[in-house]
Amino acid sequence: MPKKTFPLSAAQLEELARKHATPFHLYDEAAIRANARALKAAFAWNPGFREYYAVKAAPNPFLLKILKSEGFGMDCSSLPELVLSETVGVRGEEVIFTSNDTPAEEFVAAVKLGAIVNLDDITHIPFLEKHAGLPELVCCRYNPGKLKEGNAIIGHPEEAKYGFTRAQLFEGYRILRDKGVKRFGLHTMVASNELDAAYFIETAQLLFDLVAEISAQLGIRFEFVNIGGGIGIPYKPEQEPVDLNRVGEGIRSLYAEKIEKTGLAPLDIRMECGRMVTGPYGWLVSRVLHRKSTYKDYVGLDACMANLMRPALYGAYHHISVPAKEHLPHDFVCDVTGSLCENNDKFAIDRALPRVEPGDLVIIHDAGAHGHAMGFNYNAKLRSAELLLRENGEVVQIRRAETIADYFATLDFESLKTFA
């Protein structure tokens, strides 16, 4: 069976854990850069290709700055994410603002930044016009309903809260055209953590066909299609990553047939991947606090679902390794738990591990996206630090751990003294 990897030896990790208290998240800069370049290479045939990194996956400015230097734009869905992008120097049409149930002030901020506004609903056209004005370039998000299958994480498209219906899309672009919008994009995203390369090729075909129909009916020209993100990662050791070259070449073939031959070129290909860019190159490092044996065996960590929510939220699999004991038999079947007052605070259920003891370090793999970002403070748990392994081998802290003072910072204890 293939093995999950980690960029430090057991001894190096132990030394790191003596300097930085566990739990912490660690990211590998060199691996992230190499992966970013592989994604760009798969679409090098399309001169206007751009990947907008989904900031929600890992909203740390140090990571965003790395990706900016690799030529990535940013996909934002909130005002703080727009601020993060601008802070690292990503602005204008290098940003796409894809949100839903959007407050007026966030549309205003996106337009002020010069970001591409990606509308989620036909009613957002007059809302955007009223509060921020209609920019020259507007994109709309398509929900294909039963025409396209979703998957377990994002659900069936017809049940999702996102996007225009097909009929609304034609009407929406007509309204935008008549109101003076000159430049257009088209977007969809209907799956998350998908490992089938064919899925993304089919998504491109769906959008290419739609571009042709809308262009012919409304007399408008599209500058780009954004095929979304959703490229999965092999969380389980036996899984294979998506073949990016196969995705790129499959879309290239469709592009030649449906875009170039029909006079719709140039049409830029855009994506908004988050998980596949940083996910495999981030790890949650934790230490065993307790072992418990009742009706089954439990291994209790100093991390909890406040540090990595996915297993509790989705029942998601994250591989767990014990670096100092990986050579031993994996014959100890246990639940790996955190300390929250919730019984679903488990990183793994009935997982076979080496026989761990209190004090052992464990690595939870593939936590580089939707890991630290989804943290929370239930039970007054404090969010952990983030570390970055630089290309030169140095490890630097890119976010300190929260303190009790941070947790109480939004409370006014002075007013409490006179509160009756």
Q: Is 270 annotated as a binding residue?
A: no
Q: Is 399 annotated as a binding residue?
A: no
Integer Cα distance of 135 and 128 in angstroms: 9
Amino acid at 288: V
Integer Cα distance of 122 and 217 in angstroms: 18
8 Å CB contact between 187 and 210? no
Integer Cα distance of 26 and 342 in angstroms: 26
Burial of residue 183, with CB atoms counted within 10 A of its CB: 0-12 exposed, 13-18 middle, 19 or more buried: middle
Integer Cα distance of 29 and 35 in angstroms: 10
Query: Which segments within 229-366 are labelled E, that is strand?
Result: 268-271, 282-293, 297-301, 320-321, 332-337, 346-353, 361-364
> Tokens 């030649």 sit at which residue?
256
Q: Is 314 annotated as a binding residue?
A: yes
Q: Is 300 annotated as a binding residue?
A: no
> Tokens 């239930």 sit at which residue?
378
Q: Is 272 annotated as a binding residue?
A: yes
Integer Cα distance of 230 and 185 in angstroms: 19
Burial of residue 398, with CB atoms counted within 10 A of its CB: 0-12 exposed, 13-18 middle, 19 or more buried: middle
Q: Is 230 annotated as a binding residue?
A: yes
Q: How many residues does the chain have?
A: 420
- Active-site positions read 341
8 Å CB contact between 299 and 287? no
- Taking Cα atoms as reference points, which of 192, 132, 126 lies closest to residue 162? 192
Integer Cα distance of 161 and 295 in angstroms: 42
- What's the alpha-carbon Rg for the chain, to the nearest Å? 23
Q: Which residues are annotated as a binding site?
A: 230, 272-275, 310, 314, 342
Q: Which residues are annotated as a binding site for substrate?
A: 275, 310, 314, 342
Binding residues for pyridoxal 5'-phosphate: 230, 272-275
